[in-house]
Amino acid sequence: MAAEISDRVRELAEARGLPESEVFEQALERGLEDLWEDLVLARYLDGELAREKAIERVGRTKVERAEREREVVEGDVDWGLNA
Amino acid sequence: MTLAAVSDAGPLIHLAEIDSLELLATFDTLLVPETVYKEVDAGGVPDGLPGLSYELVEADESRVKTEELDAGERAAIAVAEERGAVLLTDDLAARDTASDTGVEVRGSIGIIALGYGRGLLDRHEAASRMRALQRETSLFVTEAVVERGIDMLDDQ
């Protein structure tokens, strides 16, 4: 895995004409953004964060998508446990 | 209760990605439209598929009139409608179209929950496969939503 990461960083740096340090920086920012969105949506779905606040932080599309997914997953799990 | 299901490509691919295709044996009858098989075959038949008991069926996908879905999804909906089978799909648009025609629809997470509900998986294994589905496959689903599904396993 470590070797694969190094190879990818090298290839990205070459393709984008960037230093490898900047590739790492962008990867960290993008990863953090994902983790942040997961946290906001988890707090919203757990009832710890108001819907409007969640929309403010990650956008309406992501909140609505998570709501739709929740409806689907809850329905599916309930079915699976009782079918 | 006897369960018949027809799958589009999504659950076949996603469950194969986490080595869980055997869970589809939970269904008494599993139907795979030929169009779906071709779609899956195009990416290389998943390891567990040849060992699975399923019936390849022909389908008239033109019965499902929408351009939003691909041929495999339309074929699976047509078969589900015709045979009164549960449609297995991980595509939200396919789910909506099928639901509108009165077809019961479930996805890969539901299949894992079914495996747990029928005693094929223990709670730890079911939770671990749900997390793997979210982290290790091409299925897009919000992490927090999967965790909510895992919490529900304890409600049984």
CATH of the domain at B58: 3.40.50.1010
Q: Are residues B14 and B87 in the same domain?
A: yes
Of A41, A67, A70, the C-alpha closest to B109 is A70
Domain count along chain B: 2
Q: Are residues B118 and B59 in the same domain?
A: no
**Predicted confidence (pLDDT) at residue B116 exceeds the cutoff of 90:** yes
Of A38, A65, A80, the CB nearest to B110: A80
Cβ proximity of A79 and B103 under 8 Å: no
Find, in chain B, the residue whose alpha carbon is nearest to that of A67. Answer: B145
Residue B23, classed as helix, strand or coil, is: helix
Q: What is the pLDDT of residue B156?
A: 65
Per-residue pLDDT of A44-61, as tens digits, reads 998 999 999 999 999 999
Of A68, A79, A81, the CB nearest to B156: A81
Looking at residue B1, what DSSP letter applies?
Answer: -
Residues of B with CB under 8 A from a CB of A: 1, 3, 92, 95, 106-107, 109-118, 141-149, 152-153, 155-156
Task: Supply B23's token pair.
Answer: 């869970």
- Where are chain A's structural domains? 21-82
Q: Are residues B44 and B94 in the same domain?
A: yes
**By residue range, what is the domain housing residue B8?**
4-108
Of A68, A70, A80, the CB nearest to B148: A70
Q: Are residues B141 and B70 in the same domain?
A: no
ipTM reported for the complex, 2 dp:
0.90
Most A CBs within 10 Å, among B15, B88, B145, to test the A interface: B145
Per-residue pLDDT of B69-115, as tens digits, reads 999 999 999 999 999 999 999 999 999 999 999 999 999 999 999 99
Q: Are residues B33 and B59 in the same domain?
A: yes
Read off the pLDDT of each residue in A70-76 and give the average, rounded to a whole number.
94
Read off the pLDDT of each residue in B130-153 and give the average, rounded to a whole number.
91
Q: Number of H helices and number of E strands within chain B?
A: 7, 5
- Which comes out higher in pLDDT, residue B151 or B61? B151
Q: What is the pLDDT of residue A8?
A: 92
B98-102: long-range pairs with CB below 8 Å, 24+: B101/B64, B101/B77
Alpha-carbon gap: B127 to the closest alpha carbon of chain A (Å): 11
